[in-house]
Amino acid sequence: MKKVIIIGGGISGLSTAWLLRDKAAKSGIELDISLLEKEARVGGKIWSIREEGYTCEWGPNGFLDSKPQTLELCSAIGVSGHLHHSNDNARKRFIFSGGELHQLPDGGPAFLKSRLISWPGKLRLAMEPTPFIASAPVGVDETLADFGRRRLGAEALDKLIAPMVSGIFAGDPETMSLVSCFPRIAELEQEYGGLIRAMVRLAKKKKRDIAEGKVVSSAAGPGGVLTSFREGIQYLSDALSASLGGIVEPGHEVVTVNKGTSSPWRVSCADSRGYEADAVIIASPAFTAAEILSACDNGLSGILRQIPYASMTVVCFGYERDKISHSLDGFGYLIPRKEGRSTLGTLWDSSMFENRAPQGRVLLRSMMGGACFPEYVNLSDDEVTARVKRDLQATMGIGIDPSFVRIFRHPQAIPQYTVGHGKRLESLAGLLKKHTGLILTGNSYRGIGLNDCVAAAQRASDETLAALAG
């Protein structure tokens, strides 16, 4: 029987363990799998904290149902009946600009009426499909900012692209790689010669596919409905952990992975416990994997250390609903950096999911920090609270103190796919060829979302079985 060690008990490690066990069983392969997690709890950044009737998400608050990976996993472990889809409010998203909230337009007429983009900015956007806007040369690793200025103009970059990048990655568009962060957008430009051309062509194709009875996704992007669980997104990681049973071993911090003697790999823990293994899957953040592998391969560790992380502070405020005059009919809003506010934006969590706050109350979740403001993670609780209150006063006219406050700090929250990320992945893949049975997975490499983590777990489980068979 082959021994497999999985390091890291976040959603990536848990999903990999479940999928690997399932695939091995279906193939008639006997494996001895252990998942080692240094913390006393599993789930990683997935943590739904329920206090005073509020459900505060410490990290991500769900996943989009437009991709199959997580939905299929939920079905396989028997928790689909607990899925909780966000309501129609989540379709309305806003940008704070020029002292007011602007709803993001959902079509041509709404775009023309919107005051978010000035008429010169709209005219610049209208030039996007023209031959005057050249496509990027094939193979160029362009920043999101350079792409935005070249394709859409400076105003669209500041008011649309940059807030989106901060909302998804907590990132700086001046350093983030287009092809690594949004590979589909890069593909559309190369294939169709422009984004508007691509949207028109894909919309026509969608109509044809619908007429032929085919199931299609949005022509403009992944789309989908934000999905979680009534109990919070932690329900998924808890269910995975429970289904794995004794495989999961919390409270075991791995300090080194090196070549073994009697087995291909040796895994050593901080408590002097050691494991011999035929395969090792590291599902920890890149900076943790770098430390673990430093004694095994300095080259691997060096590349892993080059993947930067952005900090994030999550601030949950609870209010009595009748004391807030502003409409909360929407997903929330993002704030362009040039507005000079402290927060990146605020999500109206209790508007998306009805059970996130007690009856008659609302829950607002604000984000601070990111790659552009790394120092914010060190602010005191009082300073964080004061800054969020000032921003909510400016954006939504909320002048009262919240009755509920929770602050969560993430010094290394989200991996940053900066320019050169693709080359780093190629170098990692080359070095890993020398280490049969060593697999890296997680959100440090090819997608930061929950769906991406489950898709990476699928690949990691397949790679592990192939390595063991070889």
Question: The domain spanning residue 354 has which CATH number?
Answer: 3.90.660.20
Q: Is residue 227 part of a domain?
A: no
β-bridge mates for residue 318, sequence order: 363, 404
Rg (Cα) of the chain, in Å, rounded? 23
404 shares its domain with 426: no
Model confidence pLDDT, tens digit, residues 218-254: 333 446 899 999 999 999 999 999 999 999 999 999 9
382 shares its domain with 451: no
pLDDT-derived band of residue 115, with 50, 70 and 90 as boundaries?
A: very high
SS3 of residue 439 by DSSP: strand
Tell whether pTM > 0.75: yes
DSSP secondary structure of 38-107 = SSSS-BTT--EEEETTEEEESS---EETTSHHHHHHHHHHT-GGGEEE--GGGG-EEEEETTEEEEPP-S
**Residue scoring higher pLDDT (112 or 47):** 47
Residue 181: closest CA among 412, 416, 414? 416
Model confidence pLDDT, tens digit, residues 439-452: 999 999 999 999 99
**Separation CA 224–CA 295 (nearest Å):** 43
358 shares its domain with 438: no
Model confidence pLDDT, tens digit, residues 67-80: 999 999 999 999 99
Q: Is 211 exposed, middle or buried (0-12, 13-18, 19+ CB in 10 A)?
A: exposed
**Separation CA 319–CA 321 (nearest Å):** 6
Q: Which domain holds residue 157?
A: 117-211
156 shares its domain with 275: no
Phi, psi of 459 (to 5 degrees): -65, -40
Q: Is residue 94 part of a domain?
A: no
User: How much of the chain, in percent, has pLDDT values that exceed 90?
Assistant: 84
Please identify, among 177, 211, 245, the residue that sits at the C-terminal boundary of a domain: 211
pLDDT at residue 309 is higher than 60: yes
Phi, psi of 421 (to 5 degrees): -60, -40
**Six-digit token string for 239:** 């269910």
Q: Is residue 15 part of a domain?
A: yes
300 shares its domain with 245: yes
Count how many domains the chain has. Answer: 3
Query: 187-201, 278-292, 318-332: which has the minimum mean pLDDT?
Result: 187-201
What CATH number did the domain enclosing 202 receive? 1.10.3110.10
421 shares its domain with 411: no
pLDDT, mean over the chain: 93
Q: Is residue 381 part of a domain?
A: yes
What CATH number did the domain enclosing 286 receive? 3.50.50.60
- The whole-angstrom distance between residue 347's C-alpha and the CA centroid of its chain comes to 15
256 shares its domain with 190: no
Contact 268, 274 (CB under 8 A): yes
pLDDT at residue 377 is higher than 70: yes
402 shares its domain with 426: no
173 shares its domain with 40: no
Contact 242, 79 (CB under 8 A): no
pLDDT-derived band of residue 211, with 50, 70 and 90 as boundaries?
A: low
142 shares its domain with 127: yes
At a CB cut-off of 8 Å and minimum separation 6, what does 92 contact?
Answer: 103, 329, 330, 331
324 shares its domain with 409: yes
pLDDT-derived band of residue 206, with 50, 70 and 90 as boundaries?
A: low
254 shares its domain with 126: no
Model confidence pLDDT, tens digit, residues 131-171: 888 888 888 999 999 999 999 999 999 999 999 999 999 99
Q: Determine the pLDDT at residue 221.
A: 40
**Six-digit token string for 419:** 């320019």
Q: Is residue 445 part of a domain?
A: yes
Model confidence pLDDT, tens digit, residues 71-114: 999 999 999 999 999 988 788 999 999 999 999 988 778 888 99
